[in-house]
Structure 1
């Protein structure tokens, strides 16, 4: 399927990013399919129109939710919906910031939660547990709380990203647009324009320095935000050759020309003193506040969650706005307007959970219109549920800018999955923190990232997924 290269009407404005997660962009083919909705732990309660999974009366649902940029209030909201529809039931929502460390022991002991938001820097590599997860087809085939079949209320392409070997095991709930974020007010005051190439990034770095500011900055837990930005930039420059090499863990994938060019462009910025120092020793939200509140640096790569994450630490009148990552040259395979966007916040239901029907009921609640609108309104981000964003973006300049970016990108929307699929982020953080603080060169960065990739690629115990 393809997004037409024309302005999107309001109700379709987020469709492009979801298509991108299942399109194999730039001419590839869609290869995954959805399997049947077999449940490992069968329903033990009475199945009915209002209880499609057979949740036991007055039972408890154990939900563990990653507490990051979106917070957990939206999950608490969904939990209360479950408690209302399934009278006498209880939903226990537990926030966690380190999902893998907290929950892997529970998987090993056979006592996982009933539903998990597997997200954050330290998520569980989905490839390591996908055989222990429920098929979620029955969830999207059920009716939502408004009486509509759930799959008919979702944007196209939401099932395929969480489908592996024909089994739909991960529901990616949030639509994420990745961008270079900035204060439109600050740029307007200084007469700055958003850079479209790495040469223009360097030029803007000089202007920022003259104004007593840095171009970029980072925090230790989010150092790989620069990896995400770099990969997006390299894919725009080199196209499918770059995307497929990385996603398929090819030998030498980090040494490809476009990747090296992006690394070199970033290294020049670091060497010029345009990167705010000290990030490797700074907690990431504190570093982000240096951007959104103190305005110590003027550009920051992140996903669309950034506005909600920093809503209490953003300067009045900041006018947070997103722009696509820079390209290396003006002759890139994809235009500057091309966009990295995908559905994220992967929700899973472990087969050995004590209340599997309850875990699925929690997802049914989250996919209701009320829960989806609540999420969009309170986090300034969209879910995979259609028709939840008004034209004014609930007053959010960041959300409105995401609409504009998707409109401008047209069919040029792309994504990749190898970092989360194989759980690489924790190891990559070490390599990136060293590089960003000026402690290594491009060769060392490349060697470090390739070693992490090769370790996974050459491990016979790791089940690989081929991307075409």
Structure 2
């Protein structure tokens, strides 16, 4: 996730209040991919609770963490969080590992009842977290959020976070996840390239397609994303356009598996508009490329506009030349009748971290999360990753990178028109997988809007009727 600017982080994060939600499971059985764990749970470390040890950890018990190695990198864990944790708990050894394949590496251990203590569940291979919660494999974080902040006097951990941060990891009335980073989504581009060519940021769809024509005439691929492993970037782009046309209720209906939700006219119009972009402006070879390969082409000015979240700048830091300066723009209005203005954007807390209920040291995993949610750790994270966190005010007064300056600008223009987007991608893996394939067919294979909507509607109702899948409700 990316950040960048010197602007007050408080003003940026205050707007995250718009993205909170409460998830309430409905009746249903566990997803088949998640087991109940071993019948004989392992002995768990514990200690006496005190003012200095509010979570009652064993000061000498080790803590095992697994971090997703993606756009945020892993240095924040090794260089910031772990040293801060060991500063307070010097006898508690932190065992660290990183992977790009969270589900492949961690899920078998979750099912065997021998999981790591704290896991960063992220990436295209992330675990079905809703099923993990229902299998009672994630620890209740109520005591973490009620504990005092490590370095913000007089406040609990929950009181130091942006509004909505606790709720975003809440299932059935209890918090099970820390959604740590604050991400801004939009159309990313090279500000220097746009200034060199006098290309203006579009507000309407007509302006957008006219800009794509100009870029194509300059010999540059106008728009693109990686079909091999980042098609969900395009799903978010399409649904952000639909949300701006019909309001976030369109996306809530999708999350709630409401019959006919994918046939909503806002979805059809968004699919129609983006499908035409795919047919005319997309490089077909991108279907087989991974995200870093396409992002490298953008850094080389072979691709102009890329739909993504604000982790992009940090992910590409090593490949970004001096001639490239990241900036981001809101998705343009689809029609003159859009219910949200052109300046409206999708931004939300994300990147799931949780403590495993059946680990050797779940309280130690929570204490590691308390360390991450300190102001010092959050500021270090922002400096290293160019990404904001949900710790309110942690980067106030700090100078950060150009992309976050642009993102902050975009948030300022959006005002109250910031919406969280959708949740089905983490609630229902089958539906998420189907959306990725469907959007690739729409964009790369000449698919039409009605086929996209029909395919997604069928997938949605298949999930709705599958009693083996735990259901959640969004209000």
Q: What TM-score, normalized by structure 1, do the two folds share?
A: 0.90
Deviates further, 336-345 or 260-269: 260-269
- Whether the aligned pair in 2 keeps the contact of 1:245 and 1:253 (CA below 8 Å) is yes
Q: 1:42: Cα distance to partner?
A: 7.4
Q: 1:240: Cα distance to partner?
A: 3.9
1 CA distance for matches of 2:23 and 2:259? Answer: 24
Secondary structure at the aligned position of 2:221 is classed as coil
For residue 134 of structure 1, the aligned residue among 135, 139, 163 is 139
For residue 92 of structure 1, the aligned residue among 87, 92, 95 is 95
What pairs up with 1:425-440 in 2 under 5 angstroms? 425-438=432-445, 440=447
1:294 aligned partner: 300
- Whether the aligned pair in 1 keeps the contact of 2:23 and 2:171 (CA below 8 Å) is no
Matched, 1:445 2:447: no
Q: 1:434: Cα distance to partner?
A: 3.1
2:425 aligned partner: 419
- Over 3 Å counting, the alpha-carbon distance change for 1:145 and 1:240 in structure 2 is closer
Matched, 1:261 2:269: yes
Secondary structure at the aligned position of 2:303 is classed as coil
- Whether the aligned pair in 2 keeps the contact of 1:16 and 1:411 (CA below 8 Å) is no
Matched, 1:68 2:76: no
Matched, 1:237 2:245: yes
2 CA distance for matches of 1:88 and 1:178? Answer: 41
2:380 aligned partner: 374
Q: 1:331: Cα distance to partner?
A: 2.5
2 CA distance for matches of 1:283 and 1:243? Answer: 27
2 CA distance for matches of 1:391 and 1:45? Answer: 39
Matched, 1:351 2:357: yes
Q: 1:372: Cα distance to partner?
A: 0.4
2 CA distance for matches of 1:244 and 1:153? Answer: 28
1 CA distance for matches of 2:443 and 2:388? Answer: 31
List gaps (5 residues or longer) in structure 1: 1-8, 24-29, 33-39
Secondary structure at the aligned position of 2:259 is classed as coil
Matched, 1:10 2:2: no
For residue 399 of structure 1, the aligned residue among 404, 428, 432 is 404
- Whether the aligned pair in 1 keeps the contact of 2:267 and 2:453 (CA below 8 Å) is no
- Whether the aligned pair in 2 keeps the contact of 1:62 and 1:115 (CA below 8 Å) is yes
Q: Say how many residue pairs are matched.
A: 444
What pairs up with 1:258-337 in 2 under 5 angstroms? 258-272=266-280, 274-291=281-298, 293-337=299-343
CA deviation map 1:113-145 (0-9, x unaligned): 111111112221221111322111211221233
Q: What TM-score, normalized by structure 2, do the two folds share?
A: 0.88
Secondary structure at the aligned position of 2:292 is classed as helix
Deviates further, 326-335 or 358-367: 326-335
CA deviation map 1:274-301 (0-9, x unaligned): 112211211211111111x211121111
2:193 aligned partner: 186
Deviates further, 195-204 or 412-421: 195-204
Deviates further, 430-439 or 301-310: 430-439
1:6 aligned partner: none
2 CA distance for matches of 1:409 and 1:379? Answer: 24
Matched, 1:154 2:161: yes
Q: 1:251: Cα distance to partner?
A: 2.4
2:35 aligned partner: none
1:203 aligned partner: 210
Q: 1:55: Cα distance to partner?
A: 2.0
2:366 aligned partner: 360
2:4 aligned partner: none
Q: 1:41: Cα distance to partner?
A: 8.6
Higher-RCO chain (CA-CA 8 Å, sequence separation at least 6): 2
2 CA distance for matches of 1:104 and 1:427? Answer: 21
Matched, 1:106 2:109: yes
1 CA distance for matches of 2:57 and 2:184? Answer: 35
For residue 59 of structure 2, the aligned residue among 52, 57, 60 is 57
List gaps (5 residues or longer) in structure 2: 1-6, 25-41
CA deviation map 1:399-426 (0-9, x unaligned): 1112111111111111221211222433
2 CA distance for matches of 1:72 and 1:371? Answer: 13
1 CA distance for matches of 2:184 and 2:340? Answer: 17
Q: 1:73: Cα distance to partner?
A: 0.9
1 CA distance for matches of 2:203 and 2:127? Answer: 35
2:37 aligned partner: none
Deviates further, 428-437 or 102-111: 428-437
CA deviation map 1:215-257 (0-9, x unaligned): 1112121012011011011110011441222121122322211
2 CA distance for matches of 1:89 and 1:269? Answer: 54
- Whether the aligned pair in 1 keeps the contact of 2:269 and 2:449 (CA below 8 Å) is no
1 CA distance for matches of 2:251 and 2:200? Answer: 29
Deviates further, 355-364 or 200-209: 200-209
Q: 1:456: Cα distance to partner?
A: 1.6
1:250 aligned partner: 258
